[in-house]
Amino acid sequence: MTNSPGAVNYVIPLMKNLHMSWIDIKSTPTVELEGLVLALGEYNILHQFDGYSAKEIGDMAKNKPEIRTQYNEYIARRRKYGYEKSQKSFSSFSGSEVKRV
């Protein structure tokens, strides 16, 4: 194997996380390998904080402030792909959405 960035950027993540063999990687076109690695990165962001509540994230962010940024990116991606609905403020409701009791 060589000291190329392709080995670090493609081969290792594909072998480790997607359990692809060396033969599979060599027979797959580079464009598809790049797509698999990008999809793997999206998947990791979408599920990196699964199982944690917002309170637990707040507690962790007290010691490591960068967790707050990562959590905000996590929430933004989950909303982008429809996993979570964005919260609306009261000022964003129109009159037709409000039910009268």
54 and 27 assigned to the same domain: no
pLDDT tens digits, 50-82:
888 889 998 999 999 999 999 999 999 888 888
3 and 23 assigned to the same domain: yes
Domain membership of residue 93 (yes or no) is no
SS3 98: coil
pTM (two decimals): 0.64
CA distance 80 to 95: 26
In sign, the C-alpha dihedral spanning 90, 96, 97, 101 is positive
Q: What is the pLDDT of residue 24?
A: 92
Residue span of the structural domain in which 7 resides: 1-47
55 and 75 assigned to the same domain: yes
